[in-house]
Chain A
Amino acid sequence: MTIYDLANVVRSKNAGPFLLTIDLLFASSDDLDRVLQSPAFTPAIIAQRYGVAPDQVSVHVWPSACAIKVTLPRSVSSGAPGDRDVYGSQQHLPLATLEITEDKQVGLHDSV
């Protein structure tokens, strides 16, 4: 099951011309927690999917809205030569296609 399957809302948008922000809204805190606890959901993995450095990925959790917000730099600024998406609204898939595994053993072995 991917984040895309689990979340109610998966939306990407610009936060200013240089940043991309992706909101994940879940139906319940159980679903939210499943993603947060998944070993696939890390800044390093997200960074690799978007081609940025891990320290450029910020993850905010908002439990009261059952929401996760991921923000990272755009590869080029909005509307600059080579930009593929001026509004940034179709850039969610690299994050949304992450498989949410429930295998806690995997999580333990992955700890560095």
Chain B
Amino acid sequence: MQTDSITYLSLCGMLGYGFPEAGLTAGLKANPAFIGIDAGSTDPGPYYLGSGRNFVHPAQVRRDLELALTAARTHRIPLIIGTAGGAGARPHVDDFLTILREISQRHRLHYRLAVIYADFDAETVVAAWQAGRLTPCGSAPDITESDIRQCRHRVGQMGTEPLIQALNDGADVIIAGRCCDTAIFAALPIHRGYDPALALHSAKIAECGTLCAVPGGANDALLVTLERDAFTVCPVNPGKRCLPQTVAAHSLYEQPDPSRFVEPEGVVLLDDTRFEAVDERTVRVRGTRLSTPNHISIKIEGSKPVGHRSLTLAGACDPRVIASLDRIEAEVREKVAAMMQNSPGAGDVSLIVRRYGLDAVTGASPPAGQALPAEVGVLFEAIAPTRELADTAVSLARSTALHQGFPGRKTTAGNFAFPFSPSDFSGGEVYEFALYHLLTPAAGQTFFHPELSQV
């Protein structure tokens, strides 16, 4: 089934970030066998997986998806999208499908659609945990049954197998929930008989769009061509170039170990990988190998709600206020605790004060003797069991801080400059990653079943 080579187009690093249309148009001239797009990530934190909301706005998704879908259908090539809706759980996928169907209706598109959900119910994960079939990934903390059940959504990262099954079932468009980034781009080549190690390595590079090229930036199209014993990468945009060192450097990106990365298909080994320039903007990669695992394991993700957040932001430019911020904060904490002590749940309110311009990003004290900045932005944040409590805590912190006295104070009319009225904002529910574990299925257990339909 394998032809001499296969070319595919990775449109961008993230669906919805607005890839240049010229990239799509030019990329299609290379006659790609399919278009793949990564539509999600855990990078933006636990909120999206926990709440079911998308982190890319529907209008942005619509713009990118409309261009990609109409192009794929015009050229009669598969469109494969993974981690739909940003986090890839059922609500994300369903919201994405709503946009997909609306575009399809408007353009009168007809095709075979495969939807592959990635959700895991609590019982399945708890059973695995009780049977010792759930182990933490990386530095993930120990987990309890309660943690597992508290996660609003639990998803597993699917590999190439369910996508290959969908292709076997004749799918023209595949919308997958949580998906290994590599599976999006490796499934069809593996399905067509290309070397899985090369397919997976090329996919790892492709999923970030043109991050492997210079000038930098992921949000642009990359053309990948798989050959029998190598693959090439080349940016579609003539103003960008892939260089051996930039493609090699990409292998370090987001991975703890540059010489290998783990996928459901096995461990991809880069010890013998070589990167060479084909021309001034194309790189050929060869030598990547795959070590197949003894057993299948699925990376499970889940985040649990831990409270509600409210916040207020204000600036200071008076040197004595800035020099006294620690003291002001200490007084604010004391007063907020005292005033709220009779409120139910007040013991579970945590107040966090971040001083932008001082140490909000680093958390480190500036070196002793260093001059203080001319301005500091102070972000008061409360996380509490209810929105009401969080709002109250922030309101108390804000009014106290504004009027708080301290030795040497001259600005007795107010310590802070608030940019807005109202000054306080409710930040919604706060989530925390709880599940980031490898699940080994029990004998006979299968997951990720493509659902086929005709659009």
Q: How far is the CB of B207 from chain A (nearest CB, A)?
A: 15
Q: A13-B254, A18-B139, A65-B249 are in contact. Are A79 and B352 (CB under 8 A)?
A: no
User: Which residues between 94 and 116 of chain B lie within 8 Å of chain A, taking CB atoms?
Assistant: none
What CA separation (Å) do A79 and B363 show in the bound complex? 15
User: Which residues between 341 and 386 of chain B lie within 8 Å of chain A, taking CB atoms?
Assistant: 350, 352, 354, 360-364, 383
Digitize B218-262: 1 where CB-to-A-CB distance is under 8 Å, 0 elsewhere: 000000000000000000000000000100110111111111000
Q: How far is the CB of B361 from chain A (nearest CB, A)?
A: 5
B352 close to A81 (CB less than 8 A): yes
A60 close to B249 (CB less than 8 A): no
What CA separation (Å) do A93 and B259 show in the bound complex? 25
How many of chain A's residues have a CB under 8 angstroms from any CB in B?
39
Which residues of B sit under 8 angstroms from A81, Cβ to Cβ?
306-307, 350, 352, 383, 430, 432
**For B47, B274, B433, which residue has the most chain A Cβ atoms within 10 angstroms?**
B433
User: Which residues between 45 and 71 of chain A lie within 8 Å of chain B, taking CB atoms?
Assistant: 56, 58, 60, 62, 64-67, 69, 71
Tell me whether B120 is interfacial, beta carbon within 8 Å. Answer: no
Q: A15-B256, A60-B259, A84-B363 are in contact. Are A78 and B249 (CB under 8 A)?
A: no
Q: A80-B46, A85-B361 are in contact. Are A15 and B433 (CB under 8 A)?
A: no
Q: How far is the CB of A9 from chain B (nearest CB, A)?
A: 7
Which residues of A sit under 8 angstroms from B432, Cβ to Cβ?
77, 79-81
Interface stretch (choices B37-45, B176-184, B331-339, B442-450): B37-45
What CA separation (Å) do A84 and B45 show in the bound complex? 12
Which residues of A sit under 8 angstroms from B303, Cβ to Cβ?
79
What CA separation (Å) do A94 and B364 show in the bound complex? 9
A16 close to B42 (CB less than 8 A): yes
Interface stretch (choices A19-27, A32-40, A98-106): A19-27
Tell me whether B185 is interfacial, beta carbon within 8 Å. Answer: no
Which residues of A sit under 8 angstroms from B138, Cβ to Cβ?
15-16, 18-19
Number of A-B contacts (CB under 8 A): 120
What CA separation (Å) do A60 and B260 show in the bound complex? 11
How many of chain B's residues have a CB under 8 angstroms from any CB in A?
42
Tell me whether A90 is interfacial, beta carbon within 8 Å. Answer: yes
Tell me whether A17 is interfacial, beta carbon within 8 Å. Answer: yes
A69, A74, A84: the one within 8 Å of B252 (CB):
A69
User: Which residues between 309 and 353 of chain B lie within 8 Å of chain A, taking CB atoms?
Assistant: 350, 352
Which residues of B sit under 8 angstroms from A56, Cβ to Cβ?
139
> Nearest chain-A residue to B44 (Cβ)?
A86
Tell me whether B129 is interfacial, beta carbon within 8 Å. Answer: no
Q: How far is the CB of B268 from chain A (nearest CB, A)?
A: 15
Which residues of B sit under 8 angstroms from A19, Cβ to Cβ?
138-139, 256
What CA separation (Å) do A13 and B41 show in the bound complex? 13
Chain A positions near chain B (C-beta within 8 angstroms): 9, 13-19, 21, 23, 25, 56, 58, 60, 62, 64-67, 69, 71, 73-75, 77-87, 90-91, 93-94
A19-B256, A78-B43 given; 15 more Cβ-contact pairs under 8 Å: A9-B249, A13-B253, A18-B137, A23-B252, A58-B257, A62-B258, A62-B259, A64-B248, A66-B245, A67-B249, A73-B139, A79-B46, A79-B303, A84-B360, A86-B43
Task: Report 28 cross-chain contacts, Cβ distance below 8 Å, ordered by A residue.
Answer: A16-B138, A17-B42, A18-B137, A18-B138, A18-B140, A18-B141, A18-B436, A19-B139, A21-B254, A23-B252, A23-B253, A25-B249, A60-B258, A62-B258, A62-B259, A64-B274, A65-B245, A67-B249, A67-B252, A69-B257, A71-B256, A78-B433, A81-B430, A81-B432, A84-B360, A85-B361, A87-B43, A87-B44
Chain B positions near chain A (C-beta within 8 angstroms): 42-47, 137-141, 245, 248-249, 251-259, 274-275, 303, 306-307, 350, 352, 354, 360-364, 383, 430-433, 436
